Structure 1
Amino acid sequence: MTKFKKIEDSRVVISELMLPSHSNFNGKIHGGYILSLLDQIAFACASKHSGTYCVTASVDTVDFLKPIEIGELVTMKASVNYTGNSSMVIGIRVEAENIQTGQKKHCNSSYFTMVAKDKEGKSMQIPGLILETEDDIRRFAKSIKRNKMKFKNKKEFNDTDFASEEYLHILEEHKVKIERTD
């Protein structure tokens, strides 16, 4: 197995014209359809890097920044931002282009953690990354920070006691009405 691979060797770009069948009741492209495309390109990018089957371990961020319209050309660009022993963070940028005017808009940036699996379904070692540019280094470093923050937030959340008496003052600041039945 190759010990290290260049980021460009695993980069994947897909484009698809958004059709009426992809829209929601408001006439915009359904977020679920975009999520499905994101998962597909993350799988392709991770499998290309690892040379094996990969599964989605987590979706760290999906921020829908701007709506996508019917008739726009959506382009998704995926690359490996980070590698661990068997896991990879795949960064994906989503742009929509009005094909009549040529105007482009950034609609989404997402981060998928993918894990390489062998034929028995066990996690397997993957190649590391060769970082060639400042952007490569920045993306790798941001992935390390994002992973640390995710671990810290998960630990803090799991260690917190959410007894209602301790949180009543917080609940009062929100649009909620408490009617106890117990």
Structure 2
Amino acid sequence: MFPSDANPAGNVFGGEILKQIDIVAGIVAQRHCGTNAVTASIDRVDFLKPVFVGDLLILNARLNCIKNSSMEIEVKVESENLRSGLRTMTGTAMVTSVALDDGGKPTTVPKLLLQTEEEKKKFAEGLARMEQRSKERRREKAR
């Protein structure tokens, strides 16, 4: 991370980390669906530890769940001190992306091949979160 990514004390801006989360989640979504995909929401963002100027930012993302045109992507953020090699878990986020067809309308995405118990568990947890987000959006619209 560079000085332009941080405040005067050397702490990287949360917005810069959010930008990187959005980019990585978008890559995961587009690789899976093979079409354009856009961010519908970023929720449950937790900044656990600071990231400093000079640190390497490492993001790992996985597709947890699919529902029609929507995909939930879990992103884990680590920083690595390039001098010491010390890695620190610095944040997590859940991103919902929507696949779009060439006309910009939501389109169905390929199913997930769930092979392990962990993948099945992540899918079920993701589906519950997606359902909760849908309920919250419907409630907001009704207001």
Query: Normalising by the residue count of structure 1, what TM-score does the alignment of the two structures yield?
Result: 0.72
Take 1:21 and 1:69, find their aligned partners in 2: how far apart are those partners? 11
**Are 1:90 and 2:73 matched, yes or no?**
yes
Alignment of 1:103 with 2:86, yes or no, is yes
Residue 111 of structure 1, CA deviation: 0.9
Q: CA RMSD in A?
A: 1.8
Give the corresponding residue for 2:123. Answer: 140
Check if 1:68 corresponds to 2:51. Answer: yes
Q: Cα 1:115–1:153, aligned 2, differ >3 Å: closer, same or farther?
A: closer
TM norm structure 2: 0.90
Long gaps (5+) in structure 2: none
Q: Give the aligned partner of residue 21 of structure 1.
A: 4
State the match for 2:107 in structure 1.
Answer: 124
- Of the three residues 41, 64, 79, the one matched with 2:62 is 79
Q: 1:149 to 1:84 in 2, by over 3 A?
A: closer
> d(CA) in 2 for partners of 1:117 and 1:159?
26
Compare 132-141 and 147-156 and name the one that shifted more: 147-156
Inter-partner Cα distance in structure 2 for 1:66 and 1:138: 27
TM-superposition CA deviations, 1:107-132 (whole Å, max 9, x none): 11111110111111111111010112
Letter in 1 for 2:40: A
Does residue 35 of structure 2 align to residue 52 of structure 1? Answer: yes
Q: Deviations for 1:51-99, whole angstroms, at most 9, x for unmatched residues?
A: 0101111112211111101111111011211111111011111011112
Amino acid at match of 1:37: Q
Q: CA deviation at 1:153?
A: 4.6
**Letter matched to residue 120 of structure 2:** I
Identity %: 38
Q: How many residues align?
A: 143
- Tell me the SS of whatever aligns to 1:43: helix
- 2:97 maps to amino acid: M
